[in-house]
Chains A and B, each alone.
Chain A
């Protein structure tokens, strides 16, 4: 069964796209056939990756009433991307309605059943429009929380929406809260971290994503952290840890039923 996960936050700028992108890369590196779907009308995934921003994607498919768009293949055979593509600014409000009318996210998930092990959705900030559609379509939701007061204050709103959707019969469930841009150097960030742990306890992933200038370098280059240089920066490994935790929470066993050594040559 294909896993479906949405990376979500009410507040913008918390690092949803960066987290989704690097998690998708980490999943693929672990051998998981992964599709990363951009549901953000701003096309955040496309803007994050060199070579993707000009590609047509979901938006063009919806606008032209075409079949599901072609995915973008990547250097990793296990990772493919479905970008949003260009969305006319005046048409942004219509996008989510059109996507809902076409039931496009569920269709993507249906088509993915035989092709992917995991489908990861990057969502726009906020809880309406495409975000809500994604939440209604997926099974698991990862709340991305920047370690700062506004992000913490907005987190219950996401939980409330999830609770309401579940009450209404949707399958979405909070898989966990990942804290982003953590740092010991700022007392407010530290206080936010401590409060996040205190309030959300086991829901918070053990892996916290640190504030690190390497993210800016990767953004500038338009690549996932793991491809920033031939020797991946140390912080890239944080996403290996997070991917392993996500798999653990989803009950995924690495390498199938027998989690022992795997022969290189059959």
Chain B
């Protein structure tokens, strides 16, 4: 059986249709509230980022919105890691920066960020199986934390071929989890660094 595209659509005809169906983007200049009343923007709640796809094997023409990831030769070359510095106020950029920092400075082949509902906010280099683990794993840890004296905001899980490690932290919007997948569990120092980086990031969400 020949593999066929999902959409049964050829890129050239779509590109042509897009050209005919769209106008050039407007330049900034228009503002709401020009008819009289002042449309003051209300305080905008923190923005949850769009799902960023894990760049899995795709056709050559496919250009998903992937996170900028350093080339493999640079990976883990700067251990111990410098502290993460977030420079953007855009939550999506912050998550991308956290993911790139993690992949760059920790001993892992993939990483993800999820919220406490198990909703993956950003991911790179992890399989669907890993992603599907996140929700149940975080749910299970809720009951573990009910045991007095148990923090359980960091941990590692042996998956057979590799290890999943994660840290969690919370802000007023809920819990967030930063996880990695690699051939070995992270060190205690790495866990501390991950948690610090996640806390820095979550403060901006």
Find out whether the CB atom of A29 lies under 8 angstroms from the CB atom of B28. Answer: no
Number of A interface residues, CB 8 Å? 72
If A30-B44, A149-B7, A237-B46 touch, whether A194 touches B28 (CB-CB below 8 Å) is no
Query: Which single residue of chain A is at the shortest CB-CB distance from B61?
Result: A198
9 nearest CB pairs, A to B: A251-B26, A163-B20, A152-B7, A162-B21, A159-B17, A117-B32, A173-B23, A237-B48, A198-B62
- Interchain nearest-CB distance for B7 vs A (Å): 4
B33 interfacial by beta-carbon distance below 8 Å? yes
Most buried by A among B21, B32, B34, B115: B32
Query: Which single residue of chain B is at the shortest CB-CB distance from A243?
Result: B44
- Interchain nearest-CB distance for A167 vs B (Å): 7
A191→B14 CA distance, assembly (Å): 18
Which stretch of A67-75, A81-89, A254-262 is in the interface?
A254-262
Find out whether the CB atom of B39 lies under 8 angstroms from the CB atom of A31. Answer: yes
A244→B8 CA distance, assembly (Å): 32
Find out whether the CB atom of B9 lies under 8 angstroms from the CB atom of A199. Answer: yes
Tell me how many residue pairs across A and B have CB atoms closer than 8 Å.
193
- Interchain nearest-CB distance for A156 vs B (Å): 6
B182 interfacial by beta-carbon distance below 8 Å? no
Most buried by A among B23, B45, B50, B132: B50
A190→B29 CA distance, assembly (Å): 37
Find out whether the CB atom of B65 lies under 8 angstroms from the CB atom of A197. Answer: yes
Find out whether the CB atom of B44 lies under 8 angstroms from the CB atom of A152. Answer: no
A253→B64 CA distance, assembly (Å): 28
Contact partners of B56 in chain A: CB under 8 A: 190, 194
Which stretch of B77-85, B116-124, B161-169 is in the interface?
B116-124
Contact with B along A191-230 (1 / 0, CB 8 A): 1111111111101011110101010000000000000000
Find out whether the CB atom of A163 lies under 8 angstroms from the CB atom of B119. Answer: no
- Interchain nearest-CB distance for B94 vs A (Å): 13
Contact with A along B40-51 (1 / 0, CB 8 A): 111011111111
- Interchain nearest-CB distance for B38 vs A (Å): 8
B140 interfacial by beta-carbon distance below 8 Å? no
A200→B16 CA distance, assembly (Å): 11
Query: Which single residue of chain B is at the shortest CB-CB distance from A232?
Result: B45
Q: Which residues of B are at the interface with A, using a C-beta cutoff of 8 A?
A: 5-9, 11, 13-14, 17-18, 20-23, 25-42, 44-51, 53-54, 56, 58-59, 61-65, 92, 115, 117, 119-120, 123, 128, 131-132, 173-174
Contact partners of B50 in chain A: CB under 8 A: 205-208, 238, 241
Main secondary structure of the interface of B (DSSP, over half): loop
A160→B128 CA distance, assembly (Å): 35
Contact partners of A256 in chain B: CB under 8 A: 31, 33-34, 38-39
Find out whether the CB atom of A262 lies under 8 angstroms from the CB atom of B28. Answer: no
A192→B7 CA distance, assembly (Å): 7
Which of A193, A200, A205, A248 sits near B18, CB closer than 8 Å? A200
A1→B31 CA distance, assembly (Å): 9
Contact partners of A30 in chain B: CB under 8 A: 41-42, 44
A104→B3 CA distance, assembly (Å): 48
Which of B17, B36, B40, B47 sits near A241, CB closer than 8 Å? B47
Contact partners of A160 in chain B: CB under 8 A: 17, 21
Known: A30-B41, A114-B36, A156-B17. 14 other contacts (CB 8 A): A30-B42, A155-B9, A173-B23, A184-B123, A184-B128, A184-B131, A190-B53, A198-B64, A214-B117, A237-B46, A238-B48, A244-B47, A252-B31, A256-B39
Contact partners of B62 in chain A: CB under 8 A: 194-195, 197-198
Contact partners of B11 in chain A: CB under 8 A: 198-199
Contact partners of A91 in chain B: CB under 8 A: none
Query: Which single residue of chain A is at the shortest CB-CB distance from B62?
Result: A198
A42 interfacial by beta-carbon distance below 8 Å? no
Contact partners of B173 in chain A: CB under 8 A: 234
- Interchain nearest-CB distance for B169 vs A (Å): 15
A97 interfacial by beta-carbon distance below 8 Å? no
A182 interfacial by beta-carbon distance below 8 Å? yes
Which of A195, A234, A252 sits near B5, CB closer than 8 Å? A195
